[in-house]
Amino acid sequence: MTESSFIHRFEPASRAGTTPLLLLHGTGGDENDLLGLGRMISPGSALLSPRGRVLEHGMPRFFRRLAEGVFDEEDVQRRALELGAFVDEARERYGIAAPVAVGFSNGANIAAALLLLKPDVLAGAVLLRAMVPLSDPPRAALTGKPILLLSGQDDPIVPASNSARLAALLSEAGANVSHKVLPAGHQLTQADVALASDWIGNVAAEAA
C-alpha cells in the first residue's frame, strides 16, 4: 500500500510545541471537512486529513455499514489497519509525531477502532459522537493514553448506553478517558469546540 492511497490534505505546523492532529470526517465529508475545526481547537498544529475510501450512495466513509448503527465489522478492522498504515507512512513523509485523532461520527468510530487495533499509531483521541466500533474488540494496551469522548444527550444515532460502553471499554484498556455528555444531538456545537480546545491544550502542555 502506498501513502498516496488516501486522498488527503496536510498542513504543516506553524507553531512549535503543538500536537499534530489526524482529522477524520463523518459520513459524506471529505479531506477538507474538519480543517477549520482543527485550526480552531489547536491553532498552529500540523493537520493530516484523509478522505474515507468507502462510498455509501456516493458519500465518503471510513468503513462499510449494514444499516445505521450496524457496522460491517470485518470491514471496520481492515479499514482501521489501512488507516494506521497511512498514518505511519504520512508521519515519515511529513516528519510529524504520533497524532491525536479528532474524529466526528463515522470518523470517530474508525478512530476508536484504530485505538483498539493499533494503539501505538495515535497519541490520543477526541471522539465526537462515537459508538463502540467492534462487538468483540481485542485486548488493547492504552495505558495512560488521553481520550476525550463527547456525546450528545439527545443524539438520535448514538444511544447513551453505547457511548457509555465505549468509555468503559477504553478505560478498561488503561486509557485516561474524559467522557462528557452535552445538551446536544448528533451535530457539533460550540461546547464541543471549547471542550476539545481546552483538552488538547492540556495534552500538549503535559507532553511538553
Annotated catalytic residue within 72, 88, 178, 186? 186
Retrieve residue 176's grid coordinates.
485516561
Q: Read off the pLDDT of residues 168-206 as tens digits, 9 standing for 90 and up.
A: 999 999 999 999 999 999 999 999 999 999 999 998 888
* pLDDT of 40 strictly over 80: yes
Secondary element (H or E) of residue 196: helix 190-207
Q: Read off the pLDDT of residues 158-167 as tens digits, 9 standing for 90 and up.
A: 999 999 999 9
Retrieve residue 165's grid coordinates.
460502553
Residue 30 structural domain: 3-207
User: From residue 23, how far is each of 87, 115, 140, 156, 171 by CA, in Å?
Assistant: 11, 14, 22, 23, 23
The domain that holds 32 is classified in CATH as: 3.40.50.1820
For residue 72, the one-letter residue type is D
Domain count, the chain: 1
163 is catalytic: no
The pLDDT score that the predictor gives to residue 68 is 81
Q: Read off the pLDDT of residues 96-139 as tens digits, 9 standing for 90 and up.
A: 999 999 999 999 999 999 999 999 999 999 999 999 999 998 88
155 is catalytic: yes
pTM: 0.96
120 is catalytic: no
* pLDDT of 31 strictly over 80: yes
The burial of 208, by beta-carbon neighbours within 10 Å (0-12 exposed, 13-18 middle, 19 or more buried), is given as: exposed
Residue 48: CB atoms within 10 Å: 26
Q: Read off the pLDDT of residues 77-90 as tens digits, 9 standing for 90 and up.
A: 999 999 999 999 99
Annotated catalytic residue within 105, 151, 163, 192? 105
Annotated catalytic residue within 151, 155, 163, 192? 155
